[in-house]
Structure formats: C-alpha cells, structure tokens
Structure 1
Amino acid sequence: MAVSSPSSCSSPSILSPLILNTKTNLGSSSSNSSPFPHLFTFSSSRTNNRPLSLIVSSYTKSENGLASKDKKILLEKYGYDVDADDYFSQSSSKSKRRKEQPKMKRGKQVKEDSAEEAKPPRTTHKLLQVLGGTARRTKLLSPKGMDVRPMMEVVKGAAFDILQAAGGCPASLRPGRWLDLYSGTGSVGIEALSRGCSEVHFVEMDPWVVSDVLRLNLEATGFLDASIIHTVRVEKFFERADQFVGNSGPFDYISVTPPYTQVDYGVLMRQISESSLVGEDTFIVVEYPLKTDMLDSCGCLVKITDRRFGRTLLAIYGPTWAQKKRR
C-alpha cells in the first residue's frame, strides 16, 4: 500500500475516494518516516501556497480503498478531527442508486407498501318478510351475498306452525321469552314477536349486521323496545349467560340457525343442553345441514319433530308433554 501525490505514484494503484485538502505543510516523507511503515508511504509538495492535496491509494481489492480504521488513524495523525463512521461507512453512490430504484416486475413498478385493495361496501335488499302475526307482510332487510344466510321462509313457516300446535294454541305462540342465536337479520326473533312472544334476545357477532340490518328491521316492525341485542359470539354468550341475561330464568324458546360449516353441532348442542338458559318447558328449534347426526334428546328435552326441506333439515326439541299433545 502506498500514499503519494498523483504525479509521483509509479506503481499501479487503486485510487481511494478519500481526497484530503490541508493547509498544513506536511513536508516530504519517505517510507522510513511514515507513521505506518508497513502500510503507507507519503509524498507531498506545496506550491504557491495552495492547499495540499493528499491522495490515498491502496493495492487492496476493497472497493473503498483503505479500511475505515486505518484512514481515521491517518487523519488523526495529521490533526484532523473526523468521525470514521460519518466519512467512511457510507455506501457507494452506485449502491445508493440501486436501493432508491423502485422494484420492477414485468416492466411495471411494484410498490412495496401498497395498501390492500378496499373491499366493496356491503349492501342490503328486501327479500324477506314477516309471515304471520301483528307485523305480517312487513318487508325485512337482508345482506346481499352469502355471508349471512337467513332461514328460508318455508322452513320458518313450518317451524312456527309446529311450535304453535305443540303449545296447544294453533293461532299463536304461548307468551314467553325467546332466545335467537346466530340471529343475523333477526327474521326468526321478529317472527316470534309478531306471533305473541313478549321479549326476544338476539345474539349476533357482526357489528355491521347489527347496526345496518337487525336494528333497522326491529325499527321497521316496531319491536325495538321488546328486543335486547347482544353483539357477541354465541360461545361467549353461554360462558357469561348470567351476566347477559341476569336472574330471569330459562327461556321459553330458543332458535339455533348457525352458519353450517363454522360450527360443531355436537359441541354446540351439548353446550346448550348444559346451560341454565334451558328449562324443562323450553322449546329448541335447530336448523342443520345434510349428513349431520342430531341426537334424539337435548338434556331433559325430547325430539318432537325432524323434517327435511331440500338440503336443509329442521329439528325441534321440547318437553315430553308437548310431544304427547302433538300426537
């Protein structure tokens, strides 16, 4: 390695990017007087009081010439107060340009931190209606698409006809409290209110469905004051049932209309049967898909009916006295 002026460097060398301007007269120096005899040699001259240009050259293959530590020692030897990290740790201009260039893919610029495409807004339509009771023929909102799947009207109508007959009053439901699990649009609970129930608890986990569908349907039918909405998962509702419902006792009716592929019916029915929300006179309406095995009983309740509507099946559990009355 050698340090020399551009004119005195006789051997081939790689010029370092380090070029120093100094007003100090370094004088001439040889390899014997160099503070780094094994690393550097110095050759300098000063003419016309011009600042001396000191060029550091290196025979190493490093693209940055001298190591940062050696350069710092050299500068400090001649009175320069510099920070090696500031002067010698910078990446080359070529690497900077390479980093600053945006990524390209098939001739198109790709943004690294591109935001996710916004989902289209969710919308509703009025394809449902109340089938019987005081709010009969009132249109109900339901979301477009398959993210919420209301109970088909033919299934809903059959379920309420069976419940009314089993309760001994074919014209209307026995007065009582209804728990609508996985309520979605609220069409089942609203049907119950229209046919004589005094209070309905709706359990729905989707805040948008609650605010833009369920609540609007309750306002349209005039049943908002008789309704209590729980925006929570069904599993959490059962875990904290005493907190949500209080000491009101078991419900008279419970409807279960979950998304088919997102629940384990065995676990769900066991959780319902072991809950304090189910009493000896409770009726439970369960909608379930094909190839699903449903037990003949749910706790102290027996299966009153099990009917099929295309790919949808309907099971109703109730007290033993209701089964005898229906026969």
Structure 2
Amino acid sequence: MAVSSSPIPQILSPLHMNIINSNNISGSSSLNLPLINASSKSSHRRPFIIVSSYKPRNGLVSDEKKEFLERYGLNPDDFSSEPSPKTRRRKGAEKTGRGNQVSPEEPKPPRTTHKLLQVLGGTARRKKLLSPKGMDVRPMMEVVKGAAFDILQVAGGCPAALRPGRWLDLYSGTGSVGIEAISRGCSEVHFVEMDPWVVSEVLRPNLIWTGFLDVSVIHTVRVEKFLERAEQLVGKDGAFDYISVTPPYMAVDYSVLMGQISQSAFVGEDTFVVVEYPLRTDMQDSCGCLVKIADRRFGRTHLAIYGPGWAQKKRKSDKSFRTVAEKVRLQVESEN
C-alpha cells in the first residue's frame, strides 16, 4: 500500500490522538476506518474519563443525549431510570388534589369518672368521692392527706379536729382536700380549679353529695390569675387560716409558685400552708413569715407544711410530752 507524499490532514480526537483521514491515502478506498497515529505528546497524557450526569425527563433519554452517549461507546439505557413508587404516588396525589386534603382528627373519647376516693375523718367520714379516670387529675393520695391533717390538728392544739377557720384549696381538682377540711371542722372552703369539666362533673357533685355546697366557693380560674387578684379577693375576712397547694408536678415552677403565695394577701401570720411536691424538688425552709414545721416523704411524693412559729414550738412540746408518756407507760409495764 503506497502512501502519497502530500501532507496528510490530521484530526485531533477527544483522546488527544491524531486520526489520519483514510480518504487521502491512495489505494485505501476499501478501508473506511481511520488510521490512528499516536503522537509522542499524547503518549504521556492520562486517558480521559467521560462522565455524564443528567436527570432524565419522564424516564426517557432525549435524542441529543442518546447520540452523545453512543458517540463515546456508552449505553443510554444505563442512564435512564423509572420514577420510584413514592414519587408516582406523590405526583398522582398532586394531580387529583388529594395531597392538599387534611385528614380529620379522631374524636377524643368522652371523659368519665369513678369513685375511688373517700373522706377519711369528720362528719362525712367514709363517703365516696368522684374522681376522673386517667391521669388528667391526680388527687392527693389518702395516706398523704391523712398525715397532713394529723399534723395540722396536732400543730393547732386540737388533735381531734381542726381549728375552726377558712381554707383555700389551690389546684383543687376533685376537691378531696377541701372536703376533708370541712368534714374536720373548717367553716368555709374556697376551691380554685381551672378545668370547667372537672368543676361541673366532679367537684360540684362531690360537694352536693357530702352536703358541703353551701359552705363552699368555687373559682373556675387559673391559680396564677387568682393569686394576682389576691388584694381584691381577700375581702373583709382577711387572710386564710389554711392553704393547700397540690399542683400537677410538671406544670409548675415551685420556686415561682411559692414566691407568689408567700407574697400574696392570702397568707397571714397564723396561716398554715400544706404543699405536696415531687422528689428532687428544693423547698425553702420558710414561706414568707411562716416556718417549715414538717417535711415528710411518701415514696416519690413529699409533703411540706409551713406554719407560725408558735405551732412549731407546740408540736415539739407535744412530741416531748408523748415521749415522756411513752416512757412512763413502758416503765409501768416492766414493773408489772
């Protein structure tokens, strides 16, 4: 095969290799393939890697992209993809308009009550009280309530009953604490509960059942708002003789709440404050002008009672008297 002496036109390929046009080579009409002449310059170059990245439309490859991929020996089918089932469902929902619809919320089950509580002492002793099912309202445990009233009666100087007075039941819920107070000798109780359903379906029926509705006042309001209006609500009767605080544990800040109570006009020099609080809660040793006279633990529940200084001294003297009486009794039994 003879090659003409005329200069041979060369074409630079994408791989930096010289492609000699076979049409300019004499006697090579039967060959349609180009002759490749690798130059010394291209022999030192690294081979190219052709990367094609694109997003197919409707899962099909356009003609231009298909031709481009075939030119470099790539299979266009490898770059086509079908939409995922999730994408097809989303697009179908957008077309039908179902994607913008909001499913209606399931109706909440009706709230119901049961009779698990009872009055522990006094004129309404052993009467059953209503309480809501579930954890919406958490009444004070009976063992805690019994201990609180025993301490108050001893501190007040009358172990058999409470000193007559007015009681403020904050976060009253079922009203079991305030009802216990009326049953044991209190003349009037103010109940503060923010849930209208609890007031109408639980608290008021309990007061009617025990016969204490006439000596009760119900305030359907948040405790924080009630304390802010203390100056207006205190009236001519002045401060309360007893205040019980039994809030939902996780819904209040005890330091803030006790600060509001201690600074309110509801607290006087002879007021007793009963506070139920959870484990790992720091309670102050005083509440305004009142001192802590008791702090008991019942599992995860704690009970703190604040009162005047004279009540603390009386409780200590009563305790020492009972200790002496117990020693005398043991001595008499040993002699016999």
TM-score band by shorter chain is 0.5 to 0.7
Using structure 1 for the length normalisation, give the TM-score: 0.67
Task: Please name the residue that 1:296 is paired with.
Answer: 285
- Of 282, 285, 301, the residue aligned with 2:274 is 285
Is the counterpart of residue 239 in structure 1 residue 228 in structure 2? yes
Query: How much does 1:114 deviate?
Result: 3.5
- Of 180, 185, 208, the residue aligned with 1:196 is 185
Query: How much does 1:246 deviate?
Result: 2.4
CA displacement, residues 8-39 of structure 1 (integer Å, 9 cap, x when unaligned) = xxxxxxxxxxxxxxxxxxxxxxxxxxxxxxxx
Task: Please name the residue that 2:152 is paired with.
Answer: 163
Is the counterpart of residue 103 in structure 1 residue 92 in structure 2? no
Question: Does structure 1 conserve the Cα–Cα contact (< 8 Å) formed by 2:175 and 2:191?
Answer: yes
Query: How much does 1:113 deviate?
Result: 4.1
Q: Given residue 183 of structure 1, which amino acid in structure 2 is its aligned partner? A: S
The 5 Å alignment of 1:233-272 reads 233-272=222-261
Separation in 2 of the partners of 1:323 and 1:268? 23
Query: How much does 1:116 deviate?
Result: 1.8
1:101–1:302: structure 2 CA closer, same or farther, 3 Å change rule? Answer: same
1:223–1:113: structure 2 CA closer, same or farther, 3 Å change rule? Answer: same
CA displacement, residues 174-198 of structure 1 (integer Å, 9 cap, x when unaligned) = 0000000000000000000000000
Q: Structure 1 vs Structure 2: percent identity of aligned residues?
A: 81
Question: Does structure 1 conserve the Cα–Cα contact (< 8 Å) formed by 2:231 and 2:264?
Answer: no
Task: Please name the residue that 1:151 is paired with.
Answer: 140
Return 5+ residue gaps in structure 1 as ranges.
1-96, 105-110
- Of 108, 128, 131, the residue aligned with 1:142 is 131
- Of 195, 201, 206, the residue aligned with 2:195 is 206
Q: Given residue 282 of structure 2, which amino acid in structure 1 is its aligned partner? A: D
Query: How much does 1:102 deviate?
Result: 4.4
Detail structure 1 runs of 4+ shifted over 4 Å in the superposition.
97-100
Question: Does structure 1 conserve the Cα–Cα contact (< 8 Å) formed by 2:278 and 2:301?
Answer: yes
Q: Given residue 313 of structure 1, which amino acid in structure 2 is its aligned partner? A: H
Query: How much does 1:103 deviate?
Result: 1.7
Separation in 1 of the partners of 2:162 and 2:314? 15
Task: Please name the residue that 1:174 is paired with.
Answer: 163
Q: Given residue 318 of structure 1, which amino acid in structure 2 is its aligned partner? A: G
Task: Please name the residue that 2:173 is paired with.
Answer: 184
Question: Does structure 1 conserve the Cα–Cα contact (< 8 Å) formed by 2:171 and 2:192?
Answer: yes
Higher helix share: 2
Name the SS of the counterpart of 1:148 in structure 2. coil
Is the counterpart of residue 116 in structure 1 residue 131 in structure 2? no
CA displacement, residues 140-168 of structure 1 (integer Å, 9 cap, x when unaligned) = 00000011000000000000000000000
Q: Given residue 137 of structure 2, which amino acid in structure 1 is its aligned partner? A: V
Using structure 2 for the length normalisation, give the TM-score: 0.65
The 5 Å alignment of 1:76-95 reads none
Task: Please name the residue that 2:308 is paired with.
Answer: 319
Separation in 1 of the partners of 2:131 and 2:209? 13
Cα RMSD after superposing both structures? 1.6
Task: Please name the residue that 2:211 is paired with.
Answer: 222
Name the SS of the counterpart of 2:291 in structure 1. strand
Separation in 2 of the partners of 1:251 and 1:101? 66
1:98–1:326: structure 2 CA closer, same or farther, 3 Å change rule? Answer: closer
Return 5+ residue gaps in structure 2 as ranges.
1-91, 317-336
Q: Given residue 286 of structure 1, which amino acid in structure 2 is its aligned partner? A: V
